[in-house]
Amino acid sequence: MTVQLKINHLTKKFKDVTALDDINLELHSGEVLGYIGPNGAGKSTTIRSILGILRPSMGSVEIFGMDAFKHASKIHEKLSYVPGDVYLWPNLTGGQTIDLLLKMNNQQHTNKTDKLIKDFGLDITKKNKTYSKGNRQKVALIAAFSTEAEIYIFDEPTSGLDPLNEEVFQNHLLKLKQQGKSILLSSHILSEVEKVADRIAIIKDGQIVETGTLEDMQYLTSTLVEATTKDEPIDLKNLSGVNNLVIEKNHVSFQIDAKNLNSVISYLTTLEIIKLKTTKPTLEQIFLQYYKVSGDK
Ligand SMILES: Nc1ncnc2c1ncn2[C@@H]1O[C@H](COP(=O)(O)OP(=O)(O)OP(=O)(O)O)[C@@H](O)[C@H]1O
Ligand SMILES: [Mg+2]
């Protein structure tokens, strides 16, 4: 597995605002990295640093072994990017814009471009100024997906897409992944990140608060347990890691830290389990949990 992009101790300050505070991140070939965090956390600042638009206050970004700021134009030959706010020339048609975007990146309009236009169901004869937000995003996405690159970066690319087109987006993303491309996907649509990302990085207040696979994060967070036992589980309240405990005779529900799950299940076994259901947290719940924890600081 090759490291295509490496962020080393990156700090970015805007006057007295520290937008990024000593962040480290890696993107490997064939990997989709989901990049999530609340508004103003620093996602777009990270991406603009990767694109070489911003000069780091400290630290560096290395792409294909080159410095992202110093060698931006060389790097951009193998990098494709879609911003969240897509600005398009108002008087060009969607089709003209796609071709212009491709040309600017030394790319050709190919069969792949036609297939993308069809898949996203975009009427390319209309002028950009007449497009809705979702259609403007489609123009940028079609150009980005038809570009031959090694790294693809998407900054909240699907916020305007309907569910059908979001699925088209996800399918094309997975195709890139199968081809061994590297993808950085910043998104607020957590179900989307959950579906396509191999690893997830959570950023908050300019700091990476967690990186790992969804399973890693599920391990770190609590599981919801609902059980019915033959005997009443009265000693549960004394076991460590048990939260939000509700006991109604021999029915019980509680949350348990993953590291304490084993001992709690062993205890329930001694009471004879009649029914047991464990629910892992969704990315959404993990996300909220992180925020609550860091909000308590
Ligand atoms: N050019 C700038 N000048 C001053 N402050 C900036 C500038 N760009 C970003 N910031 C600040 O840096 C912080 C991070 O902003 P950033 O746009 O990276 O957040 P984000 O995670 O992309 O948020 P969102 O989810 O809303 O897009 C914010 O506090 C923002 O106000
Ligand atoms: Mg942003």
Phi, psi of 294 (to 5 degrees): -75, -25
State how far the Cα of 256 lies from the Cα of 247, in Å rounded to an integer: 14
Q: What is the residue with the minimal CA distance to atom 12 of ligand 1?
A: 19
Which residue of 23, 36, 43 sits with most ligand 1 atoms within 8 Å of its CB, as the best mutation to test the pocket? 43
Q: Which ligand is nearest to the CA of 40?
A: 1
With a 6 A CB cut-off, is 42 part of the ligand 1 pocket? yes
pTM exceeds 0.75? yes
What's the CA-to-centroid distance between 179 and ligand 2, angstroms? Answer: 27
With a 6 A CB cut-off, is 17 part of the ligand 1 pocket? yes
Q: What is the residue with the minimal CA distance to atom 25 of ligand 1?
A: 39
State how far the Cα of 297 lies from the Cα of 287, in Å rounded to an integer: 16
DSSP string, 88-132: --TTSBHHHHHHHHHHHTT----HHHHHHHHHHT--TTSBGGG--
DSSP bridge partners of 247: 252
Q: What is the residue with the minimal CA distance to atom 19 of ligand 1?
A: 40
What's the CA-to-centroid distance between 46 and ligand 2, angstroms? Answer: 9
**Ligand 1 closest atom vs CA 203:** 21
Which residue of 11, 13, 44, 189 sits with most ligand 1 atoms within 8 Å of its CB, as the best mutation to test the pocket? 44
The closest of 160, 227, 150 to 183, measured between CA atoms, is 150
Over its length of 297 residues, how does the chain's per-residue pLDDT go in tens digits? 789 999 999 999 999 999 999 999 999 999 999 999 988 999 999 999 999 999 999 999 999 999 999 999 999 999 999 988 888 999 999 999 999 999 999 999 999 999 999 999 999 999 999 999 999 999 999 999 999 999 999 999 988 899 999 999 999 999 999 999 999 999 988 888 988 999 999 999 999 998 999 888 877 778 899 999 999 999 999 998 898 899 998 999 999 987 888 999 999 999 999 999 999 888 887 787 776 655 443
Which residues are in the CB-under-5-Å shell of ion ligand 2?
43-44
**Residues 222, 256: contact at Cβ < 8 Å?**
yes
Q: Report residue 53 as tokens.
A: 């638009």
Q: Which ligand is nearest to the CA of 20?
A: 1
